Copies of this chain bind each other. A is one copy, B any other.
């Protein structure tokens, strides 16, 4: 078994970010699988082109390559069935598909304007230029303008997490008594933010805050040990 994972980094190659790479990192840890990191920067498209992808994560498992965090989670579940399940059955796998989209749209999409201008400072000049140009085109404004109102707009982000906070009133994890891939979907977003931005996305009395603390501690504190801000 020889697993390798292309992971997004900036100037500090020990500080992987990307919400999607962190989903995969947590999924690998859940399965008890070690993977060698291959640091990858935004403008290194040619390094992953042979794997039919222009984005990370890309997982290499022997001669097989799998791109896209959702596909990787399914690959790990199917190819390592004797290890702890990421989905807890086929019903969970189907429902996780929607939670994955909720994570993309509501969690990662909701965080994006709250932390986006903090990202270029972590990137090499060519990656910073690429990031600014591509993201400002998407936003239709400068990164700084997108983030200007974050002290107030964070309230809307927190309200959008209500379905999660209400769930955590009766179970410690989205996966139930223990975390599973549903948790890693959302946690990937929070770990991305923690690695690149000092901004406090959550109030300390929020159940989601306590849940995030538990996931920072998971797998012997793997996510907490990764360089990041203490938010």
Count residues of chain A with CB under 8 A from any CB of chain B. Answer: 32
The listed residue (B97, B163, B176) touching A102 by CB distance below 8 A is B163
CB-based nearest B residue for A181: B91
Q: Which residue of B lies closest to A87 (CB)?
A: B91
Known: A89-B88, A89-B90. A105 touches B175 (CB 8 A): no
Residues of B within 8 A of A56 (CB): none
Are B90 and A176 neighbours in the complex by a CB distance under 8 Å? yes
- If over half of A's interface residues share one DSSP class (helix, strand or loop), that class is named, otherwise mixed; here it is helix
Could you tell me if B175 and A95 are in contact, using CB atoms closer than 8 angstroms?
yes
Which residues of B sit under 8 angstroms from A175, Cβ to Cβ? 91, 94-95
Query: Is there a chain B Cβ closer than 8 Å to A18's Cβ?
Result: no
Whether A171 sits at the interface, judged by CB under 8 Å, is yes
Contact among B90, B93, B167 for A98, CB-based, below 8 A: B167
With contacts A102-B102, A106-B163, A163-B106 taken as known, whether A92 is within 8 angstroms of B97 at the C-beta atoms is no
User: Please, how many angstroms separate the alpha-carbon atoms of A162 and B162 in the complex?
Assistant: 17
Contacts A87-B91, A95-B96, A104-B166 supplied; 20 other A-B pairs, CB < 8 Å: A88-B89, A88-B90, A89-B90, A90-B176, A91-B91, A91-B93, A91-B175, A91-B176, A91-B182, A93-B176, A94-B171, A94-B174, A94-B180, A95-B175, A97-B170, A98-B167, A98-B182, A99-B99, A101-B167, A105-B162
* Contact surface of A with B, Cβ cutoff 8 Å: 85, 87-99, 101-102, 104-106, 162-164, 166-167, 170-171, 173-176, 180, 182
